[in-house]
Structure 1
């Protein structure tokens, strides 16, 4: 005969090394056991026969979408389709369709079947089935397939269906790549993993539309998560929100209907949105966010941390946004970018030795009073018309839980604060208001040795410089917490070769682990034991100068001067001798 009979699928035929049936009778050749093994029965999508009078024609039945078509082997071209319950094929006798033309039609690739003659959309969904997948752990199975598949994919609605593992993929290129992986994975029990694919409509979870009452509940939930003062919307981990869970609303933002509902609410209620947090929402694609630039045109900050984005191509949907900050940590796409190493920071820059001595003396005097516990003594350091402001980094999280909560109410972060009234109110004018404001801040102890000073501008009548360093709070609920700060001073000349502050900008943030490890390594006098307040004005100035020129801290500088009866020249001579002998403590 010129045709072969299809062999039913026997699972053991896929064991590595062969070992199918007919082992007991090698000389006997059973029907259908030709040189080409038939296709597995489980690989076929059998359709129930239509017993009505006007059933489908043979061609229409053969052109139906079938899992076997995608997974057929090259040597199957000459074999007819197995139809165990169908009518005998007499087309050959009647001069009908030939086996070859029918088989060629069957073996068209997935993309060819969705070619110009198809009305399928450009982005089509595919149902992926793995026979006998229930025998294996789903996590292991998906992981091993993803590792071997040449195109990254994310399984949607991964679940068991009878003895199969079933999921959906949206990308046609991923579907074809999965097709190539079939039978190339050997399970721990020795069997090859078979992968079947069928074009399908989008999964139910993607199609489902929200009901009006669910949208109203979502709107209420979003209103609770919106911070009007910062124009920030925090939708982190939205699917676990207690209010939505209590109403049995499954708000999964990776579903098109859910994301579009969120964007619609933003457009209708908060189009002025500046910051949006979508972290921890299991987003594996951003196709449904394509309308975000139109819905929130003023958006500046977008947090997509801890999602499932795999490639930077996912970010194409956001290219029309005028973002200033984009958070992507915790996504697989971050692994595709090499780590960057910042150059080491340099030390202080003063411009000249005279300027260095002037600034360091000023800072020593200023922070001695600032850390003393009574900051009223700072009145002499500020100009009558001075102004001062404080700011902290903008946070997407609850400010009440932040470690910088004590500073939040006074923060004048003009990058985030757009209300002109609040901007003016948080700017402290006149030295009385400035010192009163500074006195309300937590009591501190600064690490003078951590200071890095950079001179920004200098004229005969004005000097601007920046100070970076660390301090710790010495009282309150954040006692001993180490903070980092940056302070910009604009000063003018004052009497007795001093400086007078006309503008003071203080920025406070959390210290890094490295800054915390290096902070307060050298002992420093506490405000209560500081010797400066007990000295005369002349002795205090002498102590400051000696400490700056010798490099010793205040405690040892005072000890050196006391031992030499406050004879500055003699103390300097003794210091030089001890330094040469390497006996000077710092």
Structure 2
């Protein structure tokens, strides 16, 4: 079939993957190519709403793509649907730049390329006088324009370390996704002062090994409640990032894990190594449980399977953003029960149960029970990554409501540290450092909780939240 710039309906085929937005472009296209019996060249790959789409101009390839419908399985062992329909000529193909305009674009880009720095400056490209003087309008939100830029880079710039796309009114990054294959060496990318509204757009270029990224001036920057949340969310896409918006970033927080032998499941309290106790405790202190009914996916209440799927948070960024908008609640750490099911060198599974009350909104003061189940896996440099996180909330039992938030304030009666075992002395030292209270008060808190470190920390956190820790506890007593 002749590949012409002009084409009729039937010359082209549109390939659609429902809910394809949750798949990485490289993984999805490699999977489709490997299963398809006829080689093909995808054109205009892009995401639209929850779909992934691209075009082919080959009837035999289109027929072969129909044959692999529901033949590919994703990481969750779900079959991937692939729909094939005849289509008009893709926009990027019927609006290709003419050869003389492509030549002028090549000259313009060459002027903007710094050979010594291997940096390409395309900021405010639309208003470049060399282009406007030849009646060439380059709008990078249009896929044909972005395609022309990427083709020029591919043919004329062998190595690119820095790309500046500042002030181009970019509102999506579909067209830029091919940069991963065309210029994988990019370390610095400037997307500042554009119109990107969601950090999810970065999912389309997350294959880049970026070390420096500029996003300031985009609406997406205002979707985060604070700077740490913003940095954490962006770093999920680019783990090697060391600078964001011109500011040096601190190294990623890393938690070490040792002694990962299989242990028996436990109830009430954790009976494993102290290192794992501390790991779980620190993880829980950084977790928030708040509003729980807004995006409820309970299958007993929500019968629409499509809506249940849409409510599922697919990416790390979606999960973090959904937690950040929840209203305030107060948890009774004394009610916590941590059940560790099992752990290996690469996985840690545990659940947390307890009660909490709402401190704002229409249901202020209401007490509820929850169970939150975590599956963690070890990441790079012994860090922990959340693989699965399920929250179940229900009405608290009468006895749970009555006993919630009723922890008595400990009275200080101290004994000499020298009378304690070496292990107990070390626990007191660590507790004092982590809590900020004196050694004597740390010892008292641990003794009152039978030297159960996690429970003592939970009691302390609850009392501190309630303002029941006296000021003298934070003064070192000789």
Fold in common (TM above 0.5): no
- Name the TM-score, length of structure 1 as normaliser: 0.26
Which is higher, the Rg of structure 1 or of structure 2?
A: 1
